[in-house]
Amino acid sequence: MNLKIDYKSDYNPWFNSKYYHILYKDRDDNEAKKFILNLTQYLDLSKKASILDAACGKGRHSIEIEKLGYRVTGIDLSTNSINHAKKFENSNLKFFVHDILIPFGEKFDAVFNLFTSFGYYNRDKDIQTLSSINENLKENGIGVIDFLNIYDVRKKLVKKEEVKKEGIHFDISRKITKKTIQKTISFNDNSKNFTFKESVNYLDLNDFKKYFIETNLEIIEVFGDYELNKFDKNISSRLIILFKKKSRSN
C-alpha cells in the first residue's frame, strides 16, 4: 500500500472552543460507562491489556476503561480537552495531544474510536486514520469504531433546533448532503456573533468495508447500539464495528 501521509489535518477549532463544551456539557456519561462495560466484557481482554482511546475528548471513556483495570492512553487534538483529562491521570491512565491520523508510536491490545470521532476529513484522511489505527494495533489487537448509523440520522433528522445552555442561546441547523452530515451552530456571546460547523462523512457499513479492504483490516463483528445488539441499518442507533488486522493467510 502506497499511502501519501499528510501531516496537516484541517482540524476543526470548534472541538477546542469553550462553546463546544458548553453545548455538550450534558453528554450522557452513564451511557458511556455502560457501553465500556459491555464492550470490555465482550472483548474479554486480559487485565494487563493496553488500550488507546483515539480522539478521547475529555477522556470520559478512558477514565471508565482505566477503572476496570486496563492501561489506557487517550489522545485528542483538543488541547483544552486534554488539559481537562490530564486531571484524572494516574500511572495507568495517560493523555496526550496527538493527531489520530498519525500513529502514536506504540502498539496496543485494542484501539477505540468512540462516539463519532471518525470521518471529519476527506476520504484519503479516513484511510490515513485507519492506517494509523492499524499501525497502533498489536498483531492480535482489536479495533473498535463507534460511528453513527446514517440511516437512523436521516430518519430522525431535526432540521432546526434551539438550545439554551449557561445563558447562551444556540441556534442549530442540520442538513444531509450527498457526502456529509452537517450541523451549523450559531450563537451570540458578549455581543459577538459566532458560527461553527460540524461535518461528518456520510458513511455506511459498505463504505467502511471498502475502507477496511484498503487498509488491510477485517471486520469481526458489527453492533447497532451500546447494548451490543446486532446491527440492523433500519433500526440501529449506532454503527459499531469491531475489526482486526487482516490475517496473513487471507
Ligand X SMILES: C[S@@+](CC[C@H](N)C(=O)[O-])C[C@H]1O[C@@H](n2cnc3c(N)ncnc32)[C@H](O)[C@@H]1O
Supply the minimum distance, in Å, between the C-beta of residue 63 and ligand X: 10
Contact indicator for 183, 151 with CB cutoff of 8 Å: no
Supply the minimum distance, in Å, between the C-beta of residue 130 and ligand X: 13
Q: Choose between 80 and 92: whose C-beta lies nearer to ligand X.
A: 80
Supply the minimum distance, in Å, between the C-beta of residue 48 and ligand X: 24
Supply the minimum distance, in Å, between the C-beta of residue 250 and ligand X: 29
Q: Choose between 57 and 143: whose C-beta lies nearer to ligand X.
A: 57
Interface residue list for ligand X (CB under 6 A) = 9, 11, 15, 55-57, 60-61, 76-78, 81, 99-101, 114-117, 120
Q: Choose between 99 and 109: whose C-beta lies nearer to ligand X.
A: 99
Supply the minimum distance, in Å, between the C-beta of residue 102 and ligand X: 8
Supply the minimum distance, in Å, between the C-beta of residue 115 and ligand X: 3
Alpha helices in 9-145 (DSSP H): 18-23, 29-43, 60-67, 79-85, 123-136
In the bound complex, which residue of the shown chain has the CB atom lying closest to ligand X?
Answer: 57
Cα separation of the two ends of the chain:
16
- Spell out the long-range contacts of 152-160 with Cβ–Cβ below 8 A and sequence spacing 24 or more: 152/235, 152/236, 152/237, 153/181
**Is the CA virtual torsion 124, 129, 132, 138 positive or negative?**
negative
Q: Choose between 39 and 77: whose C-beta lies nearer to ligand X.
A: 77
Contact indicator for 223, 238 with CB cutoff of 8 Å: yes
Q: Choose between 43 and 246: whose C-beta lies nearer to ligand X.
A: 43
- Spell out the long-range contacts of 46-50 with Cβ–Cβ below 8 A and sequence spacing 24 or more: 46/109, 49/109, 49/110, 50/106, 50/108, 50/109, 50/110
**Strand 180-189 relative to strand 168-176, pairing:** antiparallel
Q: Choose between 11 and 194: whose C-beta lies nearer to ligand X.
A: 11
CA distance 36 to 41: 8
> What cell was used for 3?
499511502
